[in-house]
Structure 1
Amino acid sequence: MAGVFEITVTGGFCAAHRLPGHAGACARVHGHNFAVTARLSAPDTGEPDRSGMVMDFLDIKAILDSVLGELDHKDLNALPAFQNAPPTAELLARHIFGRIKTALAATTAAAPAPVRLARVTVRETKDFAAGYSED
């Protein structure tokens, strides 16, 4: 039975948001120091490429940092991605997943084994996080 390799990279950004219609304090403008984790996977084909890596950590970190740079020190409610939906942790995870997936497709087109973005997790605080993945 073939296995699967996984790698994880983490980054962060600071941003403000509010959740219109929320009954609690989150309805008011507030900020977070968000922590974001991206997990990638690739099948163990038994024949690793010469590097022996799923993907160079620095390459995926550069993609993650670029995506998070678009959100850093922003009012998330003002961004086009959140004009019709509130910038919840769940929807942030989905948005970041999509942006990384697009960049990853261009980067790994010639990779020997298919590298897949498995999951993105957005952590608002040490106690609260939301994740997004696709089947």
Structure 2
Amino acid sequence: MARYEVTFETRFSAKHALRHYRGRTEPPHRHCFRVAVIVSAARLDRSGMAIDFLDLEKAVSAEVARLRGRYLNAEVPEFLAGRRSPSAENMAAVIFRRLEKALPKAVRLERVTIGEARGCSAACVR
């Protein structure tokens, strides 16, 4: 049975320092991260959509707002006190877990991808 996929992409700037990177914590530095979120649905609603782009944008933007302009190591709870290193993989996982709870039941979160530099990205997938 066919499924429909919908993608929303955005960007945000934030600073991070990977922990345990080659034996130490690297110096803090900033990136303009790219975020791509893919959801799927088995059926379309009466208007012919899996999810309204505006609704998906609102949900993703709320999660990105928690990270935008922050020093992730010191200002985002999931990365505080050495809980986990703020790698692209871990950022994707944090957004995935939180976004999965915020989306309507009619859609299924499939993938959250974080791009750190041109041609370099990591994803958390279902």
Aligned-pair distance for 1:128? 0.9
- Corresponding residue for residue 82 of structure 1: 79
The one-character-per-residue Cα deviations of 1:63-118 (angstroms, maximum 9, x if unpaired) are 111110110000100121012110000000000111211111xxx24xxxx31010
Which of 99, 102, 116 is the matching residue for 1:124?
116
What RMSD in Å do the two structures reach over aligned CA positions?
1.7
Structure-1 separation of matches of 2:24 and 2:119: 17
The one-character-per-residue Cα deviations of 1:17-47 (angstroms, maximum 9, x if unpaired) are 0012212997111010000000000114xxx
Structure 1: gaps spanning 5 or more residues: none
Which secondary structure does the structure 2 equivalent of 1:118 belong to?
Answer: strand
Instruction: Give the % identical residues.
Output: 37
Letter in 1 for 2:40: S
Structure 2: gaps spanning 5 or more residues: none
**How does the TM-score come out when normalised to structure 2?**
0.91
- Corresponding residue for residue 57 of structure 1: 53
**Which structure would you say has the larger Rg?**
1
**How does the TM-score come out when normalised to structure 1?**
0.85
Structure-2 separation of matches of 1:16 and 1:97: 20
Structure-2 separation of matches of 1:117 and 1:52: 19
Alignment map for 1:6-17 (pairs within 5 Å)? 6-17=5-16
Structure-1 separation of matches of 2:119 and 2:23: 17
Structure-2 separation of matches of 1:24 and 1:55: 44
Between the two proteins, the alignment pairs up a number of residues equal to: 123
Structure-1 separation of matches of 2:8 and 2:24: 31
